[in-house]
Amino acid sequence: MEPLVIDGSFGEGGGQILRTTLALSALLGRPVRIVNIRAKRPRPGLQRQHLTSVKAVAEIAGARVEGLRLGSTEITFWPGRLQSGRFRFDIGTAGSITLVLQAVLPILVYAPGRVELEVRGGTDVPWSPPIDYVRFVLSRLLERMGYVFRVTLRRRGHYPRGGGIVIVEVPQPPKRLEAVRLSNAGDIKAFEGLSHAVRLPRHVAERQARAAQELITARYPGLPVDIELEWYEPGRDPHLGPGSGIVVWAHTGNSILGGDSIGAKGKPAEKVGREAAEKLLEDLSAGKALDRHASDMLIPYAALACGESILGGAKLTMHAWTNVELVKRILPEARLEFIEGGEIGKPFTLRVEGVCYQA
């Protein structure tokens, strides 16, 4: 079979195209050639994090890859048979662990047996969802589709040192996904969160949490806001370098939505906390069931699921639009249609008729 050619320069023009394409190729058994990889980024081609994503999918999918090298702008991926067991991948930098997981989590649904995955790199780094978002928001949304996995955070990794360690366990791969109705959020019930500071004073985590809580309470007085603190005593802190961040999430009648922010040198802790709360509150104001992150991440899962899914997103990001177009190209049997919205930056509702893929 001739490889399907995917142009990595269209849409968001970054790593999202690579990750979604590889996951679908691995499952469908269809070889792909991805060209112009990350063409719209300042440093095009495969960087460490993307290289690790390809290696991870290839190893789990028993695939052969041509052109796999740092900086490569073109690869050809020949999928094989899915594997189960234990796997270990090290990005070698502070590259995002969660973006590697974006590539591999869809294929672990259909693994032939139990899978344990260890990934080392960055857990809380710019331009990617923090690991706490995956732990407390994404995993709970995927449970609605019958996909249960455990994420254990062994050590955080911040830019530039990295060194984070995350364990993902899929005890019983479901081998199929159920459709979901996630259109409107419903009534807001409560807020939770986790504010962390490593190799930094405790007050950094406290100030992040306080700033987020104050903003949320001002908008939704009377609703519970419980933000946990994560901090380590000097001498007992296992992390390689300093860093901080916060993820807050809202439990609603129909869903769970999250907002996040990470610290940076010279960035006040109060600003970090407010940023996370502002993102969450902005997405909640749209009344949709999915925040700006989940509304793009769930699209490939819905396309593979059994039945019709309805995905209501607070904001149509370029990542989400790109995923819609990629699925149409790689999996034309799935039907995707905007039944509301469709403009970048605006709320939307997407109908997805899944193909009921089963291993």
Domain shared by 134 and 201, yes or no: no
Same domain, 39 and 164: yes
> Could you tell me the pTM of the whole model?
0.96
Query: Phi then psi for 206, rounded to 5 degrees?
Result: -65, -45
Q: Is pLDDT above 90 for 14?
A: no
Q: State in Å, rounded, how far the first CA of the chain is from the last one.
A: 21
One domain for residues 24 and 60: yes
pLDDT confidence of residue 359: 81
State the CATH number of the domain containing residue 209. 3.30.360.20
Q: What is the pLDDT of residue 311?
A: 98
pLDDT tens string 222-265: 999 999 999 999 889 999 999 999 999 999 999 999 999 999 99
Q: Are residues 161 and 12 in the same domain?
A: yes
| Residue 208 labelled as part of a binding site | no
The pLDDT tens digits for 157-190 are: 999 999 999 999 999 999 999 999 999 999 999 9
Is residue 31's pLDDT more than 90?
yes
Q: In sequence order, what are the beta bridge partners of 192?
A: 226, 249
- Mean pLDDT along residues 49-72: 96
* Same domain? 273 vs 297: no
Task: Please tell me whether residues 304 and 274 are part of one structural domain.
Answer: no
Looking at residue 186, its pLDDT comes to 97
Check if the beta carbon of residue 184 is closer than 8 Å to that of residue 289. yes
* CA angle (132, 227, 116) in 5-degree steps: 25
How confident is the model at residue 175, as a pLDDT? 97
Give the pair of three-digit tokens for residue 170: 């899929």
Phi-psi region of 81 (alpha: psi -120 to 50; beta: other; left: phi over 0): beta
Write down the pLDDT at residue 18: 95
Is 301 exposed, middle or buried (CB count within 10 Å of its CB: 0-12, 13-18, 19+)? buried
Answer yes or no: is pLDDT of 331 > 90: yes
pLDDT at position 245 is 98
Q: In which band, very low, low, confident or very high, does the pLDDT at 79 lie, cut at 50, 70 and 90?
A: very high
| Domain extent at residue 306 | 177-184+288-359
User: What are the residue numbers of the active site?
Assistant: 319
How many alpha carbons lie under 13 Å from residue 163 in its C-beta half-sphere? Answer: 13
Mean pLDDT of 335-349: 97
Last residue of a domain, one of 175, 208, 242: 175
Do 134 and 264 fall within a single domain? no
pLDDT at 1 over 90: no
- Report how many domains make up the chain: 3
Do 246 and 272 lie in one domain? The reply is: yes
CATH number at residue 9: 3.65.10.20
State the pLDDT confidence band at 44, using cuts at 50, 70 and 90: very high
Please tell me whether residues 218 and 151 are part of one structural domain.
no
- Residues 167, 97 share a domain: yes
Mean of pLDDT values over 17-44? 95
Query: If you write DSSP's letter for every residue of 13-38 in order, what string do you get?
Result: -SHHHHHHHHHHHHHHT--EEEESTT
Query: Based on the domain organization, do 69 and 95 belong to the same domain?
Result: yes
Q: Domain ends where: 156, 175, 194?
A: 175
**The pLDDT of residue 235:** 85
Task: Give the mean pLDDT of the chain.
Answer: 96
Last residue of a domain, one of 152, 175, 198: 175
Query: Domain check: are 320 and 192 in the same one?
Result: no
Phi-psi domain of 127 (left: phi exceeds 0; alpha: psi -120 through 50; beta: other): left
Residue 220, pLDDT score: 98
pLDDT in tens, 99-112: 999 999 999 999 99
Residue 145 confidence (pLDDT) above 90: yes
